[in-house]
Structure 1
Amino acid sequence: MLKLLRLLKPYTISVAVVLVLMFWQSLSQLYLPTLMSDIVDNGIVHGDINYILRVGGLMLLVAAAGTAAAVVAGFLSAKIAASFGQVLRSKVFARVESFSLNEFNQIGTASLITRTTNDITQVQQVVLMMLRLAVRAPMLAIGGIIMAVAKDAKLSLVIVVVIPVLAVAIFIIAGKGVPLFKKMQAKLDQLNLVLREGLTGIRVIRAFNRIDYEQKRFKDANLDLTDTAVRVNAIMAALMPIMMLILNLTTVAIIWFGSIRIDYGHMQVGDLMAFIQYVMQIMFSLIMLSMLLMNIPRASASAARINELLDMVPEIKDGEPVKSAAVKSGLVEFRNVTYSYPGAAKPAISNISFTAKPGETTAIIGGTGSGKSTLVNLIPRFYDIDSGSILVDGVDIREMAQADLRSQIGLVPQKAVLFSGTIADNIRYGKEDATNEEIKHAAEVAQATEFIFGMKDGFNTVIAQGGTNVSGGQKQRLAVARTLVRKPKIFIFDDCFSALDFKTEAKLRTALKKETVNATVLMVAQRVNSIMHADQIIVLDEGQIAGIGRHKELLRSCRVYREIVTSQLAEEESA
Structure 2
Amino acid sequence: MIKTIWPYTKGYRFKSILAALTIIGEVLVEVSIPYMMADIVNIGIENKDTAFIIQRGIMMILMAIASLSLGALSARFASVSSAGFAKNLRGGLFERVQSFSFANVDRFSTASLITRLTTDVNTIQNTYMMAVRTFIRAPFMLIAATVMAVRISPDLALVFLFALPILAIVIGILMTKTFPRFKAMLAKFDAMNANVQENLTAIRVVKAFVRGDYEDERFTFSANEVKDYQVKAEKLLVVAMPLAQYMAYICMIAVCYLGGVQIVEGRLQSGDLISFISYIGQVLSAVMMVAMMMVMLVMSKASMARITEVLAEKPSINDDDAKDIAVTDGSIEFDDVSFSYNGNPDNPNLEHIKLKIASGETIGIIGGTGSAKSTLVQLIPRLYDVTSGAVKVAGHNVKDYKIQTLRHSVSMVLQKNVLFSGTIKENLKWGNADATDAEIEEACRAAAADGFIKNFPDGYDTELGQGGVNVSGGQKQRLCIARALISKPKIIILDDSTSAVDTATDAAIRKALSEELSSTTTIIIAQRIASVMDADRIVIMNEGKIDDVGTHAELMQRSEIYREVYYSQQKGVEE
Structure-1 residue corresponding to 2:351:
350
Q: Summarize the Cα distance change of 1:176–1:565 in structure 2 as closer, same or farther, 3 Å threshold.
A: same
SS at match of 1:135: helix
| Native 8 Å contact 2:17 2:132 kept in 1 | no
Note the C-alpha offset of 1:221. Answer: 1.2
Note the C-alpha offset of 1:134. Answer: 2.4
| Native 8 Å contact 2:359 2:521 kept in 1 | yes
Structure-2 residue corresponding to 1:99:
100
**Deviation string, structure 1 residues 514-559 (Cα, Å, up to 9, x no partner):** 2111211111111111111111111212222222221111211222
**Deviation string, structure 1 residues 355-411 (Cα, Å, up to 9, x no partner):** 222332111111221121111111110110112211111111011111110011111
Of 235-244 and 84-93, the range deviating more from structure 2: 235-244
Letter in 1 for 2:75: G
Structure-1 residue corresponding to 2:278:
277
Question: Within 1, Cα distance between the matches of 2:546 and 2:540?
Answer: 6
**Deviation string, structure 1 residues 78-104 (Cα, Å, up to 9, x no partner):** 222222222222222222222221222
Letter in 2 for 1:74: A
Letter in 1 for 2:110: T
| Native 8 Å contact 2:13 2:81 kept in 1 | no
| Native 8 Å contact 2:237 2:295 kept in 1 | no
**Deviation string, structure 1 residues 201-229 (Cα, Å, up to 9, x no partner):** 22333344433222222111111111232
SS at match of 1:499: coil
| Native 8 Å contact 2:364 2:537 kept in 1 | yes
Question: Within 1, Cα distance between the matches of 2:4 and 2:510?
Answer: 52
Letter in 2 for 1:371: A
| Native 8 Å contact 2:335 2:353 kept in 1 | yes
Note the C-alpha offset of 1:107. Answer: 1.8
Q: Summarize the Cα distance change of 1:319–1:398 in structure 2 as closer, same or farther, 3 Å threshold.
A: farther
| Native 8 Å contact 2:241 2:291 kept in 1 | no
Structure-2 residue corresponding to 1:407:
408
Structure-1 residue corresponding to 2:376:
375
Of 210-219 and 314-323, the range deviating more from structure 2: 314-323
Of 166-175 and 301-310, the range deviating more from structure 2: 166-175
1:20-419 mapped onto 2 (5 Å cutoff) = 20-164=21-165, 166-167=167-168, 170=171, 174=175, 177-318=178-319, 322-325=323-326, 327-342=327-342, 346-419=347-420
Question: Within 1, Cα distance between the matches of 2:510 and 2:231?
Answer: 60
Note the C-alpha offset of 1:501. Answer: 0.3
| Native 8 Å contact 2:245 2:288 kept in 1 | no
SS at match of 2:39: helix
| Native 8 Å contact 2:330 2:360 kept in 1 | no
Question: Within 2, Cα distance between the matches of 1:224 and 1:146?
Answer: 48
Question: Within 1, Cα distance between the matches of 2:124 and 2:507?
Answer: 56
Letter in 2 for 1:295: M
SS at match of 2:549: strand
Question: Within 2, Cα distance between the matches of 1:481 and 1:427?
Answer: 7
Q: Does 1:443 align with 2:433?
A: no
Question: Within 2, Cα distance between the matches of 1:366 and 1:287?
Answer: 67
Q: Summarize the Cα distance change of 1:52–1:385 in structure 2 as closer, same or farther, 3 Å threshold.
A: same
Question: Within 2, Cα distance between the matches of 1:571 and 1:170?
Answer: 73
| Native 8 Å contact 2:241 2:292 kept in 1 | no
Q: Summarize the Cα distance change of 1:86–1:540 in structure 2 as closer, same or farther, 3 Å threshold.
A: same
Structure-2 residue corresponding to 1:486:
487
Q: Summarize the Cα distance change of 1:496–1:571 in structure 2 as closer, same or farther, 3 Å threshold.
A: closer
Q: Summarize the Cα distance change of 1:550–1:168 in structure 2 as closer, same or farther, 3 Å threshold.
A: closer
Letter in 1 for 2:457: K
Q: Does 1:4 align with 2:4?
A: yes
Question: Within 1, Cα distance between the matches of 2:390 and 2:248?
Answer: 73
Q: Summarize the Cα distance change of 1:47–1:132 in structure 2 as closer, same or farther, 3 Å threshold.
A: same
Q: Summarize the Cα distance change of 1:317–1:174 in structure 2 as closer, same or farther, 3 Å threshold.
A: closer
Letter in 2 for 1:254: V
Question: Within 1, Cα distance between the matches of 2:125 and 2:492?
Answer: 44
Q: Which structure 1 residue ranges, 5 or more long, are not aligned?
A: none
Note the C-alpha offset of 1:274. Answer: 0.7
| Native 8 Å contact 1:38 1:270 kept in 2 | yes
**Deviation string, structure 1 residues 452-508 (Cα, Å, up to 9, x no partner):** 222232222211112221111011011011111111111111110000001111111
